[in-house]
Amino acid sequence: MQRLAVFFLIIGVGSFILPGMGLQFKLISLFGENSVIVSVICIIVGVVLFFIGRKSGEDAPTSAAEIEETRNLESKYHCPSCGVSITSMDRVCPKCKKPIPDAAI
């Protein structure tokens, strides 16, 4: 999401800077007199997407311990060999690497 936000920010800010050098993005120049409005819209969309991406990124687990904790909270299945929490999508235990029989899930 943040890559898309940066793209819109570059297009929006660049469309203000480039005319000072006698240049302009072809896509923005298609809008003619409304190119300033399109540039402002690109900047606004970029800022909104950037903050949405930052907010959703804060909720995601980052360390291996956080990922394992999240996995344990979401799991209601356990490996029959070692007892570690597994998901219904696991076919091999992430800890002992033994195959998970279909009956265990």
pTM: 0.53
Domain ranges of the chain: 2-59, 64-104
Maximum distance among all Cα pairs of the chain, rounded to whole angstroms: 70
pLDDT, one tens digit per residue, over 47-101 is 999 999 887 765 555 666 666 666 555 557 888 888 888 877 788 888 899 998 8
DSSP per-residue string spanning 17-65: HGGGGT---HHHHTTGGGHHHHHHHHHHHHHHHHHHHHHHHHHS--SHH
Is residue 15 very low, low, confident or very high in pLDDT (cuts 50, 70, 90)? very high
Q: What's the sign of the alpha-carbon dihedral 41, 43, 46, 50? A: negative
Angle at alpha carbon of residue 4, lines to 25 and 42, rounded to 5°: 45
Q: Check residue 89 and give its pLDDT.
A: 79
* pLDDT of res. 2: 83
Q: What mean pLDDT do residues 5-11 have?
A: 93
